Amino acid sequence: MAEFNAIQQRAIQIEQSKSSSINFYLVIVAATIAGIPGVLSLVPAEAVRLVLIAMFSFIFAVGLLTLDHSVNQAVNIIRLYRRAGKIRRFFLTQASDIKVYLPFEASDSLPHINLPSSLAYRGAEVTVFAINIASVAVISAVIFSFASWLWAIIAALAAAGMTWQLQRLYFRKKLQRFEQKAKRSIIFPETME
């Protein structure tokens, strides 16, 4: 039981750490955006575009790192939940009449790491995902604003769509890799009847 409680406590700690890192990222984003008017008032007009590109590139880079870290932490939490399932399975084999009292499956195959939805991320990952998309859209709009605002809007929309798909593809592949690796270590794929 002590091991089971330790696993549950560790999962809670990782979840809190994940939440803290995303909150810190949101503070960085807010501070960077809030600082834009002040910074732009200090630079010559020719440098405004470069400053905007640099600031939103910074937000995007930190966002990618935060999102990657958050997804890794979510996978670690799932691994811990699966280990807790193994412990539940042990107790279920010792006393099968406790099955009706178990709140979760007594197996190590659930919860799934790679969910079928395109927004399968847990928690605030979707917020970071959206900020990354907005950052790339702003960068593209600033780059193409020299031509016209119509081209800037078209470039921003195209970049947003491309960023959405590339992030989704990257994290889908990453989650699939974790799921395949986890499947090789499943001992109790389903509950006992």
Q: How much of the chain exceeds pLDDT 70, in percent? A: 93
Task: Identify the residue with better confidence: 25 or 94.
Answer: 25
pLDDT at 121: 56
The residue type found at 60 is F
Give the whole-angstrom CA distance, residue 52 versus residue 120. Answer: 31
How do residues 143-168 score in pLDDT, each as one tens digit? 999 889 999 999 999 999 999 999 98
Give the whole-angstrom CA distance, residue 79 versus residue 63. Answer: 24
Q: What is the pTM of this model?
A: 0.84
Contact 65, 128 (CB under 8 A): no
Q: What DSSP line would sit under 131-165, residue for residue?
A: HHHHHHHHHHHHHHTTT-HHHHHHHHHHHHHHHHH
